Amino acid sequence: MRRLFFALWPDDATRQALAAEAARLAPLCGGYPLPAKNLHITLAFLGDVDEARIEALVALAQRWPALQGEWTLDRLGHFPRPRIVWVGGQTPNDTLLTLDTRLWQALSRHGFTAPERDFIPHVSLVRQADRAAPQSRLPTPILWRFDHLALVESQLANDGPCYRTLADNTG
């Protein structure tokens, strides 16, 4: 069994801007910032997947149509459980919402079931956060241009998760 999810990864400049916000917010929220290399948006968390099913998921990622979109990150939020401070968009992003719907439709043909909760596009910035950020808006919005979908494996280690891209649609 391997722990898998589909995600979007930021470019280096966006990753660094997100990491700076995570470092700024962590002391204000009582948690610790996520490492820059781990910052992403999860579109579909699949959980533990049997080895026999991975080949089809790799093919799905590789055949996924080209992506091109932008997302303005300007809203801060807090999930009390699991104690995460995150950043997302004040305005819903139709491209991300459509991508999530289409991805789950494709995954359903492989026996996966979409969660029964609404999709809230976000990037987790701070873990073990005792409280929300003191403001609900990001002081300076961050523009994220996304252009590829990735199938990612999450391996849990003592110092947190380690992510490895198994496949993407960049060719």
Q: Which residue in this structure is represented by tokens 């898998």?
A: 4
Count of beta carbons in the 10 Å neighbourhood of residue 158:
4
Of 78, 110, 122, 148, the catalytic one is 122
Q: Is 40 assigned a catalytic role?
A: yes
**Do β-strands 160-168 and 2-8 pair in parallel, antiparallel, or remain unpaired?**
unpaired
Beta-strand runs (E) in the chain: 2-8, 32-33, 41-49, 69-79, 84-88, 123-127, 137-146, 150-157, 160-168
In the set 40, 78, 110, 148, the catalytic residue is 40
Question: CA torsion, points 118, 74, 38, 94, in degrees to nearest 10?
Answer: 40
Amino acid at 47: G
Continuous segment of H or E residues that includes residue 139: strand 137-146
Please list the active-site residues. 40, 122
